Amino acid sequence: MATTATYPGAFIGGEWHTGEGAEIEVRNPFDDALIGTVNAASDAQLEAAVAAAKAAFPAWRRTPLMERVDLLRKAHDICLERAPEIAEMIARETGKTIREAEEEMVEFTVDHFRRASEDVIRYRGQVLPSTQERKGSKRIMVVQEPIGVVAAVSPWNFPVDIAGIPIVYGLALGCTLVWKASEIAPICANMFVDVLHEAGFPKGTVNLVHGLGDLGAKLVGHEDVGSVVFTGSVTTGEKVAREAGLKNRVLELGGNGPQIVRADADLEKAADAAIIGCFYLAGQCCTAAERILVHRDVQDRFVELLTERTRALKVGDQMDHATDMGPVATDANLNRTKEHVADAVAKGATVVYGGGAEGRLHEPTIITGVTTDMRIAEEETFGPVAPIITFDTDDEAIEIANATEFGLTAAVFTEDLRTAWRYAEELCHGTVHINETTNYWDQMAPFGGAKKSGAGRELSTYILDAMSETKQITWDVF
């Protein structure tokens, strides 16, 4: 009789521990096969993890910078070597295609170590002039110091990449970490922690606890945590903000990103971008193109091009390298997608391609005739749907694009530079792409959103700011 592996539920002070809480089953979204089980950490184990991070911080912050950098470089090599096996587990746990999981590991996660080791070396302070007095004797220094214990609470859709940003950059800066990984993808989190452990990061600098949302809430509200980095839903993010109180924090929340296609757009390029924007990771990205705004004069041709490309997608087993789109990760995502499609159709929209589902495999779906009063236009679907909304003027497109509680990512397709500049300035989003998919991001650029899409920015030195304290030191030297 086949046995299922039980994985440790906590990594505390450099050692793996069996979780003292309830059992969590980890299942493949494609066929519901049981991958393994993890016992959640208890409240006592969470306390121990925070205590271990707090105890490790004084020595770690005093560790010479280049010694920390050496460990990052060693971890880079180990992570690169183990990337294929971690990617396979990511795909099995989350349902993202094996190609998407390999991209997450090789292009994003592994390179966090290289980028952080370079960025932290160049993370400089300032010397300011003295202006309060006219004696010329003052020297004012501004330095950035590691904040202490950082709580990282990460999502399932990029379970190692997104978590790796605060973890790797935090370690580079001299912070210590407690990570609450997503309960949907705990096993790949364990594998990533093993990389850090083998690289030689000191005991207590990185700690991991598994569990549900209540454990994460206790972590972010803990009095010994100095900074919180959270990625997830708006509802949970608002709770995190309340629990975190006055702590430094970065909240990366939901999106309802518009892709705007003007009449002068390169329609072939815009259709390619919509495929990535709507169907990458089965639409389960906060940066997904949740609304496609198309000028009335080119709607028919754009939909024709988009349909041709959508029809060519291979949907199925995410472990097959030929698969373009795998299953949605959870029943909640599947049901919400079905509800949004049904609501749109009931209010007059037309499904021109797809619309059905078999198990967790929801067809890539194109809907025309979408209006702003439909749920699919108002809410974040987080599923593989391309809702087409027509517009006649730039003013109308900008109004529709901004008429949402979210403000993460927007994209505009146009050949007119003057108009592109206007859109870039008037769209209330943290990122505006011109002639690029909404699902484009650069690891050296600030990532984050306006309105309910979050607070703060991450990646590169922007995440270093969130995990450091700015200190002024004044010298009277004469």
Residues serving a catalytic function are 252, 286
Report the 3 state secondary structure along the chain.
CCCCCEECCEEECCEEECCCCCEEEEECCCCCCEEEEEECCCHHHHHHHHHHHHHHHHHHHHCCHHHHHHHHHHHHHHHHHHHHHHHHHHHHHHCCCHHHHHHHHHHHHHHHHHHHHHHHHCCCCEEECCCCCCCCCEEEEEEEEECCEEEEECCCCCCCHHHHHHHHHHHHHCCEEEEECCCCCHHHHHHHHHHHHHHCCCCCCEEEECCCHHHHHHHHCCCCCCEEEEECCHHHHHHHHHHHCCCEEEEECCCCEEEEECCCCCHHHHHHHHHHHHHHHHHCCCCCEEEEEEEHHHHHHHHHHHHHHHHCCCECCCCCCCCCECCCCCHHHHHHHHHHHHHHHHCCCEEEECCCEECCEECCEEEECCCCCCHHHHCCCCCCEEEEEEECCHHHHHHHHHCCCEECEEEEECCCHHHHHHHHHHCCCCEEEECCCCCCCCCCCCECCEECCEECCECHHHHHHHCEEEEEEEEECC
In contact, 28 and 219? CB cutoff 8 Å = no
Residue 217 neighbours by CB distance under 10 Å: 18
Distances (CA, A) of 94 to 171, 220, 302, 327, 335: 27, 24, 31, 9, 17
In total, the chain counts a number of residues equal to 478
Residues 175, 19: Cα–Cα separation, whole Å: 25
